[in-house]
């Protein structure tokens, strides 16, 4: 099997708020809402932020009930960036665009990378990593 691409679908209750967050924090200036979905193209990964009805319909095709955001989302999405400044900027911008940053970024003692965490307005948790600070 040869995988051509990978797509992660995440449920969202407020698409406009999510759109502002991903434009502001991750720089997706050309992102837009189309048919209840925001498509974000990361290197080697597409993320589809889907409104509740679209996500429920998509989940039904797989034969299961939709697991929607609540107090927390069950996954951590990690992305590597070039500099410590990129990590710090993402944490600052997250707060400006309706997200949360549970604390300041710091060097991870176990592997030495500089790591910060942000949650989007729906609670999807992102780990922002500068591997070699």
Q: What is the dihedral of CA 29, 35, 39, 45, to 10 degrees?
A: -170
CATH 3.10.180.10 fits 7-130, yes or no: yes
Q: Which of 109, 110, 103, 98 is nearest to 127 (CA)?
A: 103
Please state, in angstroms and rounded to a whole number, the distance separating the CA atoms of residues 9 and 84.
Answer: 28
Confidence (pLDDT) at 89: 95
Q: Structure pTM?
A: 0.83
What distance in Å separates the CA atoms of residue 78 and residue 60, rounded to the nearest whole number?
Answer: 27
d(CA 60, CA 114): 39
Distance CA 40, CA 25 (A): 13
Place of tokens 């309706």: 98
Q: What is the pLDDT of residue 24?
A: 96
Question: Mean pLDDT across the stretch 58-64?
Answer: 79
CB 79 within 8 A of CB 128: yes
pLDDT tens digits, 3-18: 677 889 999 989 999 9
């Amino acid at each position: 099997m040869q995988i051509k691409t990978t797509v992660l679908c995440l449920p969202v209750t407020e698409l406009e708020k999510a759109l502002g967050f991903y434009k502001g924090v991750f720089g997706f200036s050309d992102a837009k809402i189309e048919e209840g979905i925001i498509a974000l193209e990361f290197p080697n990964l597409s993320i589809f932020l889907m409104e509740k009805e679209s996500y429920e319909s998509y989940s039904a095709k797989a034969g299961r009930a939709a697991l929607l955001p609540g107090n927390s989302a069950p996954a951590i999405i990690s992305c590597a960036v070039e500099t410590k400044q990129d990590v710090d900027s993402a944490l600052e911008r997250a707060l400006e665009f309706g997200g949360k940053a549970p604390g300041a970024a710091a060097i991870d003692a176990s592997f030495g990378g500089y790591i910060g965490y942000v949650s989007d307005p729906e609670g999807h948790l992102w780990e922002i990593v500068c591997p070699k600070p």
